[in-house]
Chains A and B, each alone.
Chain A
Amino acid sequence: MRRRLSGVLVIAGATALLSGAAVPSQEAKPGGDAVDERSSGAQTLPEIRQATHGVIGGPHDFTSATGRARDACAACHVPHVLGVRPVTVAGRASTEADAGVADQAEAAPSPPDAKEERSRVAGEAEAAARQAILEMYRITGQSPAHEPNRFTPGATSLICLGCHDGTVASSMIGTAHAMLAGVREGFEVPDGFVWRDHPIGVPYPQRERGYVPRSRVEADGRIRLPEGRVECVSCHDPHNAAGEPYLLAMSNRRSALCLACHEK
């Protein structure tokens, strides 16, 4: 729900931009260039950031680079998936196509197992809706590279690395950040190895001593562990909601971000 709300806020911000709201006047180059903290309109850039969930005017704002307002979101998201309807309490269908299926199922004469059939259709519709909502927040179709017992980047990290490979944006592959070469598919790590850099694609060791339980880590929604794994979005928020340096998901003052997972 929080994510959906975030998405709505971002879209609202982009809509405001389209309708002529104040926009940053400087060239907000994607990829980490310095951002001028002034704007041409009445609002200051921090205010715009606040209103648009930190995307507008941030390093992930491609509007000034492409000249298209929709690229506040569309550079990473696929807008045509927005035709998805949210799931109702009764588990009704979420998409137009699914709605048709569900309606047919409800309109049909009730055989003895009609209730079971309705339940199945509703379940499928709900699953489809969840998948569709997930698709809203990533580049659709991105398939994860998870392999059992291997540390590989998840689907969300692949989106980041699709740009942060040194081409579109600064590299997280060849540098000492994240995992130098560890993001390669099939990377194996021996027991007891001490990481020099923070890994991604690794299962969160919630049952090990020294780690905060996953439920507590994710409790306030700032730190995310997609599919129970540590990914780029675990420490960084591409929407820059917190307005922290390096797009950190939360302030790391007094190592707060580190200590959100690591018990020391």
Chain B
Amino acid sequence: MKRQNVNSPKPREVGKARRRNAGGATVGRGSWTAGCLAGVLGSVCAIWLAGCASAGGSPGGAFEPATFSAESGELEAVVRGDLLEFEPGHDRMPKQNLLDRIIFGERRSAKRRLRTPQGMNFDGVTLLVCDQGGSGVAAITRADSVVRWMPNLGKESVAPLDVCTDDSGRVFIADSVAGVMCCPALTEASVDRWEVLLAPDEARRPVSVAVFGDVLAVGDARAGRIERVEVATGRRLEAIEYGAGGMRIVSPTGLAFTRDGSLLAADAVQGVVHRFDAEGTPLEPIGRPGRGEGEFVRPKDVCVIRSGRVVVADAGRQSVLVFDSEGRFLIEVRGGEGWSGFTMPGGVCAYDIAAGDEAEASERDDRGGDAREFIVVADTLGAPSLVLVELREVKPGGEEH
């Protein structure tokens, strides 16, 4: 099957981007035009502008960053806005079905939005996003931010929930219905060669995947355990069923490996992030159930960023929580003054722009090293669907690094 090409990049047209109004709803070009006309007339415009200001929007459509500070004052999280805000060339989408037209409207017909994004992976070049509502995996390249859909998944992947890639470029997808699938690489030549790595009867409801070296970890929410597979040989390693203190793994909806091979597993039912060393021995978990600082209600996904910090997306708290590498709570990003917040954050991944480029990594180090890191949060039911958040260290005097 051929790659389903999306249009070539075009300069962004002013006013086409969807904007948030006072209540956080997205409004289209028509509303924008109407708002401007009303502004010429007078009083209505004033109300509209006030609304924009209160919600972090602006007349130009730009998102006003919302900043959150850690109690220690050494770390800030800045919600930058919609990752796809600058998606160009979205008005020539070749195919649009009735439901798309209904959802996105005729005027925005070409801008294919993600419907229900969940698990993600970023390899430094391409952001892969599992979209269950679209029954596929979106591939968004950093260079042009155009959303492409991974081909040949429509028939095989029914409900993709999580995706990861290894160092050699292999792509693994956890599909809660079809099992765990693997593709040799995300290239034109090999993208059609999907194979089922774990059939549904081997992993009853795979909901998360993470890979470290040759070991693939798969979270099975039906069986309540984490399967481990040697990808090269297909050999099954001993599954992990219990966390520290004999706590059962119930719903490992998000998995991530640290640099040293430790495994983190967000358990949406137990309300903790389990930790295991490279051998699978349980370590002290991160967080506990509750609504206090550093506690979880429904932790759905976890990722480890370059600095070693752990970021957890909690759908129940409607927020993202950041911990240091030891599991100490640092900061929570959630709606409040100036920003309406997440509706249901279901996925999170590091967005390390230098991850796939040594030159960029070098330049980054020259310009301040690890002071700034980025994550992408998939808001499964909210808008925008992909939210870019910056984490930056702050010097004791309050100055950014």
A257 within 8 A of B: no
Interface residue tally for chain B (C-beta within 8 Å): 51
Find residues 243-264 in chain B having any chain A CB closer than 8 Å to their own CB.
247-248, 250-251, 253
Q: What is the bound-complex CA distance between A31 and B317, given in angstroms?
A: 21
Residues of B within 8 A of A62 (CB): 250, 269
Taking a contact as CB atoms under 8 Å apart, the answer to whether B335 and A143 are in contact is yes
Taking a contact as CB atoms under 8 Å apart, the answer to whether A163 and B343 are in contact is no
* A140-B291, A173-B380 given; A30·B269 CB < 8 A: yes
Taking a contact as CB atoms under 8 Å apart, the answer to whether B26 and A186 are in contact is yes
What residues of chain A have their CB less than 8 Å away from a CB belonging to chain B?
Answer: 29-31, 33, 62, 65-67, 71, 74-75, 78, 80, 139-143, 145, 147-148, 150, 153, 158-159, 161-163, 165-168, 171, 173-174, 180-190, 193
* A148-B23, A165-B380, A188-B105 given; A158·B344 CB < 8 A: yes
Residues of A within 8 A of B207 (CB): 166-167
B121 within 8 A of A: no
From residue A91, how far is it (CB to closest CB) to chain B in Å? Answer: 28
Residues of B within 8 A of A143 (CB): 318, 335, 341
Residue of A nearest to B135 (CB): A174
Taking a contact as CB atoms under 8 Å apart, the answer to whether B291 and A184 are in contact is no
In addition to A142-B316, A174-B158, 6 A-B residue pairs with Cβ atoms within 8 Å of each other are A62-B269, A139-B298, A139-B316, A141-B291, A166-B159, A183-B381
Taking a contact as CB atoms under 8 Å apart, the answer to whether A168 and B253 are in contact is yes
Q: Which 6 A-B pairs have the closest CB atoms?
A: A174-B132, A147-B25, A167-B253, A181-B115, A168-B251, A181-B133
B297 within 8 A of A: yes
* A181-B103, A184-B115 given; A33·B343 CB < 8 A: no
B268 within 8 A of A: yes
Taking a contact as CB atoms under 8 Å apart, the answer to whether B221 and A150 are in contact is no
Residues of A within 8 A of B23 (CB): 147-148
Q: What is the bound-complex CA distance between A148 and B157, given in angstroms?
A: 35
With beta carbons under 8 angstroms apart, the residue of A139, A140, A150, A168 that contacts B269 is A168
Residue of A nearest to B119 (CB): A167
Residues of B within 8 A of A67 (CB): 247-248
Taking a contact as CB atoms under 8 Å apart, the answer to whether B221 and A168 are in contact is yes
Q: What is the bound-complex CA distance between A80 and B317, given in angstroms?
A: 16
Taking a contact as CB atoms under 8 Å apart, the answer to whether B118 and A165 are in contact is yes
Find residues 207-247 in chain B having any chain A CB closer than 8 Å to their own CB.
207-208, 221-222, 224, 247
Q: What is the bound-complex CA distance between A217 and B143, given in angstroms?
A: 54
* A167-B268, A171-B132, A185-B383 given; A147·B250 CB < 8 A: no
